[in-house]
Amino acid sequence: MTETDLEELTRETTDRLSGLAVLEFGTGWCPHCQAAQPFIQSALALYPQVQHIRIEDGKGKRLGRSYAVKLWPTLILLNNGSEFARIIRPIDTASITQALDTAT
């Protein structure tokens, strides 16, 4: 997706995504988000067919609220727009790959 697409991303558009996608809710300044990046990148490198969408979350951001995101980072795993797994503050690659394995 392009930057423009990300700015216009709504719950309706994520519900219409086709195939596998990972929505990553967080912020660039969050230490938990920064610590999780190697695990997220390593896991997603094993699944090139999975669309990875990073979403800057925070106060007033409706998309995160629509998914009831409370902690960062939160990974919402979608299959054809439907949530099939959620990983909050991943601390290893295995938790992410195990969830993705269930859908592939």
**What is the token pair recorded at 1?**
């997706």
**Contact by Cβ (8 Å): 73, 39:** no
Q: Is the pLDDT of residue 1 over 70?
A: no
Model pLDDT, residue 104: 82
Say what the alpha-carbon torsion angle 4, 34, 30, 11 is, to the nearest 10 degrees. Answer: 40
Q: Is the pLDDT of residue 8 over 90?
A: no
Q: Is the pLDDT of residue 94 over 70?
A: yes
**pTM for this model (two decimals):** 0.92
25-81 pLDDT, tens digit each? 999 999 999 999 999 999 999 999 999 999 999 988 999 999 999 999 999 999 999
User: Rg of the Cα trace of the chain?
Assistant: 13
The alpha helices in 8-92, defined as continuous H runs, are: 11-15, 31-45, 62-66
CATH fold of 3-103, please?
A: Glutaredoxin (3.40.30)
Neighbours of 81 (CB within 10 A): 15
Q: Where are the domains of the chain?
A: 3-103
Q: Is the pLDDT of residue 6 over 60?
A: no
Model pLDDT, residue 7: 55
